[in-house]
A and B are shown apart, each in its own frame.
Chain A
Amino acid sequence: MKKKNRLPALAMAGPVSVWMILFVTIPMFFIIFISFMSRGIFGDVVYDPSMESYLTLLDSTYFNVISKSLKVAAFTTLACLGLGYPFAYYIAKRPKDQAAKYITLIMIPFWTNTLMRLNSWLLLFQTSGPVNNFLQNSGITDAPVRFVYTDELVALGMVTSMLPFAVLPMYSSIEKLNKSLLEASADLGADAKTTFQKITLPLTFPGIFSAIILVFIPSLGVYTVPDMLGGGKVLYIGNIIKNQFGMIRNWPLGAALSCLLIAITGLLIFLYTRFTSIEEMEVV
């Protein structure tokens, strides 16, 4: 029997596997390991097994922060879908060269650092900033309106940073849609609304699911947006984890919170795979 040549497979998957084991798997196991350890007097990790961090998670404070984070992530996802789907649909219907230009426009904000973009939102909307100056000079308002450090600005920041992650997979899905199916639907007497509901939407579902996963998971753990645009007044799970590893220095609790976040994300991905097969994932 001829021996199977494994070299090509090893050459292609090997580097990525080594990379993933070194920088994803091992750190992840280390986080799980730390979460079962204790905190020392100086905030160091004491290698003394303990369930304390997980028991702390039962406190209502953490339940509140998780439910709050889930709500914000859900809102961001819905907003990104609501804004992103029509936009993705519009781009997909343009000629190829035009569509490419629109895609580039979506990507342009990613050429700058996220913190720079968030800071520019603050500058734009601050009490003596251009938006307020315009509103006052044009007589729309008498006094400056406080836009900064509000939930609305946090929401705006979240949606703008996540929108491309929603548009791209949905665009890819809509673009692949077989036009003859739409023509057939029209020939058989369905109006535009029915065609959209019965043909377009179900066939672009994988793209929508990818968008949900790509937006929901990062929104759940994000901490820079609420930190900067929310004025550090309200903390979400990402901020709490960051604080445990930073200011508060309780690494085991931070690790336990991270494990919880991993569990929530894992559950979502499990649900996702129940709805769609891996081949259908429209991740651009």
Chain B
Amino acid sequence: MNLKKLTAVLLMLVLVASLAACGGGGGEEEPAASTELNIYMWNEYISDELIANFEAENNCKVNLSYMSDNADAITKLTAGGGQEYDLIMTCDAYMESLVAGDYVQAINFDNVPNATANINEAYWAAKEYCVPYLMNYIYVVYDTERCPIEITGYQDLVDPALAGEIGSVDGARNLFPIALVALGYDPNSTEESEIAEAYEWLVDYNNNVVAYGGTELNITNGTVSVIFTYDGNASWAMSELGENNNLVIAPFESDPVQLGFDLYVIPKGAAHVDLAEKFLNYICVPEVMAANLEEFPYSCPNDAAVAVASDTYKNDPARDFGYKQNVFFQEDVGEAITIYNDYYQKLKVGE
């Protein structure tokens, strides 16, 4: 065999070997494990250390992209999110539509045993299709020194004494439910007349509000004395102000508070389902989630993680309130969402 022929044969061998590597073996062999995981979620909502540890354990690269609004995630999902992402974060309110529209795929829970073992069933809607991550109570917190009145229900928020005192979360589906509850209606009402009444109520509420968003900053720097906010943000404000802060969670007598979940779904057509399921299983390991909770002290549906979490987390005053069971969930309101949006817009334009 001359040198030319030998080179040609060697080259052929190299080519065949590299093709085999690319194809992951094919035939009876197992498909090669994914080495890349693309996640779309909220910014500042998962520990960098958790991600780094997962990458090291699974010899892979996790690419995080961030949304600025829940609607962004829905846009990604309905526009064929699987082409770009393997995991997308969304919330419980959209699950019904997403499942009905066939935008998310069922998760194989044989590969995610930690979720089944540790997550509280009561906090798990559309169980086949998602893994709950963290959850938020949206409640009222106020500064006892500076707030002119005691707040025991949503109706107190429209008291003229609170003019220029309230900092609030934004969004039609966060604001309208409290008005509907205050008026004695279903927080997920689809009746236009009830939503119209809620709008009138919110006009008064809006008069008392100083700013939407940045609630935790506005109460710590003294701009407002009352905030309608998420428990994670209240927790930040309380720890920022130190132990002797005057912040209390409003002692609601009968009004329920909203409880929402952020959860992960696998979009239809996701490329790295194996790694996505490994990731979901990993974040449900009690110790892993407990460490994550130190950095992001939100309420967590993973009971086992809460059990092994630090005392600081367990004794967080932002989650120490007596009416935790008196909650309502944001439900899919279907076409009525346009009624909500129209009134929300009217509220913000300020006619």
A interface residues, Cβ below 8 angstroms from B: 39, 41-44, 60-61, 64-65, 68, 126-129, 144, 146, 148-149, 230-235, 239-240, 243, 246-250
CA distance A68 to B351 in the complex (A): 11
- The reply to whether A248 and B221 form a contact with Cβ atoms under 8 Å apart is no
> A231, B221: Cβ atoms under 8 Å?
no
Q: Of A39, A42, A68, A127, which contacts B222 at CB under 8 A?
A: A127
Q: Which residue in chain B gives the minimum CB-CB distance to A42?
A: B78
B69's nearest neighbour on chain A, judged by CB, is A246
Contact (Cβ within 8 A) A128 B221: yes
B210 close to chain A: CB less than 8 A: yes
| Per-position binary interface string of chain B over residues 77-106, scored 1 when its CB falls under 8 Å from any chain A CB and 0 otherwise | 011000000000000000001000101000
Q: B192 on the interface (CB 8 Å rule)?
A: no
Query: Which of the residues B221, B334, B346 comes within 8 Å of A127, measured between beta carbons?
Result: B221
Report yes or no: A144 in contact with B351, Cβ–Cβ below 8 A: no
Contact check, B101 vs A42: say whether CB atoms are below 8 A apart.
yes
Known: A243-B345, A246-B69. A233 touches B206 (CB 8 A): yes
B34 part of interface (Cβ distance < 8 Å):
no
Question: How far, in angstroms, from A232 to B211 measured CA to CA in the complex?
Answer: 6
Residues of B within 8 A of A248 (CB): 71, 172, 341, 344-345
Cβ contact of B221, chosen from A42, A61, A129, cutoff 8 A = A129
Partner of B345, one of A61, A68, A128, A129: A61
B74, CB-defined interface residue at 8 Å: yes
C-alpha gap A44/B172 in the complex (Å):
19
Q: Given A44, A60, A65, A247, which contacts B78 in the complex, CB threshold below 8 Å?
A: A44
Cross-chain contact A41 with B334 (CB below 8 angstroms): yes
Residue in B71, B210, B212, B344 whose CB lies within 8 Å of A43? B71
Given A64-B349, A149-B210, A43–B74 Cβ distance below 8 Å? yes
Q: Are B350 and A148 in contact (CB under 8 A)?
A: no
User: What's the least CB distance linking B175 to chain A, in Å?
Assistant: 12
Bound-state CA distance A50–B101 (Å) is: 23
Q: How many angstroms from the CA of A64 to the CA of B75 in the assembled complex?
A: 29
Instruction: Identify which of A148, A232, A235 contacts B349 (C-beta below 8 A).
Output: A235
Please, which residues of chain A bring their CB within 8 A of the CB of B344? 248
Q: A42-B97, A247-B171, A249-B71 are in contact. Are A235 and B210 (CB under 8 A)?
A: no
Residues of chain B in range 202-225 having any CB-CB distance to chain A below 8 Å: 206, 209-214, 221-223
Contact B79 A44 (CB under 8 A): yes
**Across the interface, do A41 and B335 meet the contact criterion of CB distance under 8 Å?**
yes
9 further interface pairs, Cβ-Cβ under 8 Å (given A43-B74, A232-B170, A248-B71): A41-B97, A127-B221, A127-B222, A149-B210, A231-B209, A232-B213, A235-B349, A240-B349, A247-B69
Can you name the residue of chain B whose Cβ is closest to the Cβ of A234?
B350
- Would you list which residues of chain B between 315 and 349 have a CB under 8 Å from chain A? 334-335, 338, 341-342, 344-346, 348-349
* Contact call B345/A231, Cβ cutoff below 8 A: no
Residue of B nearest to A144 (CB): B222
B71 touches A235 (CB 8 A): no
Contact residues in A for B335 (Cβ distance below 8 Å): 41
Of the candidates B211, B222, B338, B342, the one whose C-beta lies within 8 Å of that of A233 is: B211
Please determine whether B221 and A60 come into contact, CB atoms closer than 8 angstroms.
no
The reply to whether A148 and B223 form a contact with Cβ atoms under 8 Å apart is yes
Contact: B351 with A246, CB < 8 Å?
no
Contacting residues, chain B, for A235 (C-beta < 8 A): 345, 348-349
**Which of the residues B75, B214, B349, B351 comes within 8 Å of A249, measured between beta carbons?**
B75
B164 touches A (CB below 8 Å): yes
B72 to chain A: closest residue by CB: A246
Q: B68 near A: Cβ within 8 Å?
A: yes
User: Which chain B residue has the least Cβ–Cβ distance from A251?
Assistant: B75
Give me the 4 closest cross-chain CB pairs, A-B, nearest first. Answer: A231-B211, A232-B212, A127-B222, A235-B348
Interchain residue pairs with CB less than 8 A apart (23): A41-B101, A42-B74, A42-B78, A42-B97, A42-B103, A44-B78, A61-B342, A65-B349, A68-B349, A129-B221, A148-B223, A231-B213, A232-B170, A232-B212, A233-B211, A234-B350, A246-B69, A247-B69, A247-B171, A248-B172, A248-B341, A249-B75, A250-B338
Question: Which residues on B sit within 8 Å (CB–CB) of A240?
Answer: 345, 349
A120 to chain B, nearest CB (A): 14
Contacts of A233 in B (CB 8 A): 206, 209-212, 348
Which B residues are CB-close (under 8 A) to A247?
A: 69-71, 171-172
Q: Nearest-CB distance from A241 to chain B (Å)? A: 12
Chain A residue numbers with a CB within 8 Å of B70 are 247
Inter-chain CA distance A128–B348, complex, in Å, is 28
**B residues less than 8 Å from A126 (CB atoms):** 221-223
CB-CB under 8 A from A42, the residues of chain B are 74, 78, 97, 101, 103
Chain B positions 5-34 with a Cβ under 8 Å from a chain A Cβ? none
Complex CA distance for A148 and B167, rounded to whole angstroms: 12
* A195→B159 CA distance, assembly (Å): 60
| Residue from A39, A43, A234 within 8 A of B348 (CB atoms) | A234
Alpha-carbon distance A3/B9, docked complex (angstroms) = 57
Complex interface bits, B252-286 against A, C-beta within 8 A gives 1, otherwise 0: 00000000000000000000000000000000000
Residue of B whose beta carbon sits closest to that of A126: B221
- Scoring B residues 153 to 175 as 1 if CB is less than 8 Å from chain A, else 0, what string do you get? 00000000000100000111000
* Contact partners of A230 in chain B: CB under 8 A: 211
Complex: A93 Cα to B19 Cα, angstroms: 73
**Is B223 within 8 A of A127, CB to CB?**
yes
